[in-house]
Amino acid sequence: MVIFTSVCANYVHKARTLAQSVKQHIPDAKMILCLVEREIDPRIPADYFDDIVLAKDAWEGNFDRFIFKHAIVEASTAVKGQFFRYLMDRFVDEDKFVYLDPDVYVYEDFPELKAELDQHPIVLCPHLLRPGNIDMELSSTAHGVYNLGFLGISRSEEGRKCVDWWAERLYLYCYDDIQRGIFTDQKWFDLAPCFFDVKIFKHHGYDFAPWSLMNCNVTKDDSNNYLVDGDPLRFIHFSGYGRCAEDCMTKWMPEEGKLFRELYEDYSVRHDRNDADKISKTPWGYASYTSGEHIEDCVRAAYRSNWDVMFLYENPFEHSNAEYRKLLGISDSGTVKKPSEIRRLFAKAKYTLKTKGIGGLARAFFRWLKYTI
């Protein structure tokens, strides 16, 4: 089994905590870190990672142009589909591939999941396993029915088809844009059971999370192992760790929720210990141009919607906010004005000349004349 997580440097401490739990409870698993940074920070120890791979080194195509479109909250999810493909191509002797969010902590091996992946190409966990929490029901309709903090894929034709489909969608649309029906990588998987052979895994001990607390029943068996509604606890997804998780415990945790509180506090100690070097304060390597100038959010948002400008430069990080504001028609207030036709044609001509030479530019010009005169 290959397990991976994907982070920018500010979440490395969470990934360390996850990796330690994987190595303790699933020692035969390969634990891979996908790092969405320009380089590997020397502070990241490899003790609990079998390998640390820069996302750009697992990419197909122009990574700079791709990542420039994304804010940090989108970046580590946007590469997940392609990284699944990379791992499946690299580890040809492995037949089970699992993604876990960095804020997951593993408590036991995954025998039930392994059995499901022997029978099914794709395994998903829903956010909710029972009705009643209307806040989370509404949230699921907006953010996705299935939680992509976990995903299991087996080596199979169907599994690879699903990964390829997902990677292609993430290449085009992995944004935090709920108004358009997109929530990073996650909302796409609402469609997966329609397109592929998907096992919807309804086991209370997998992907247990703060949103699962309403009416839950956390107990211990005679061997002192944790159970969730009678199912053995395999991993907790400490999503929203901090204020958000604390709010969920306040609102939804049953009166007898002492055991979950113990688990949360133990995780908190491990989590903070892994941030002793303050790696969580590390600036994101793709937050700035090569000059050091910070990339404005309005530039990223306009760039992702303008294909002519997006393909104008091989490396968008070599330019500036001022240059992109002009090309994209961004006003001083940050709003986007529709670029003039002359500016759009100039940008397209400049790119064609650069990539196809004067002959290519001439051919494009005559095609334009053919369809406009």
How far is the C-alpha of 373 from the C-alpha of 343, rounded, in Å? 20
252 lies in the same domain as 323? no
pLDDT at site 353: 66
How far is the C-alpha of 315 from the C-alpha of 295, rounded, in Å? 14
More confident residue, 26 or 349: 26
How far is the C-alpha of 340 from the C-alpha of 346, rounded, in Å? 10
Q: What's the pLDDT band for 347 if we cut at 50, 70, 90?
A: low
342 lies in the same domain as 250? no
111 lies in the same domain as 240? yes
236 lies in the same domain as 145? yes
Instruction: Express each pLDDT in 113-139 by its tens digit.
Output: 999 999 999 999 999 999 999 999 999
Q: What's the pLDDT band for 371 if we cut at 50, 70, 90?
A: very low
Written in H, E and C, the secondary structure of 25-57 is: HCCCCEEEEEECCCCCCCCCCCCCCCEEEEHHH
Supply φ then ψ for residue 367, to 5 degrees: -65, -40
Token pair, residue 68, equals: 């420039």
Domain count, the chain: 2
| Residue where a domain terminates, one of 239, 273, 307 | 273
pTM here? Answer: 0.88
- Asked if pLDDT for residue 239 goes beyond 60, the answer is yes
Residues spanned by the domain of 195: 2-273
pLDDT at site 63: 97
Residue 336 makes CB contacts below 8 A (sequence gap 6+) with 298, 301, 302, 305, 328, 329, 330
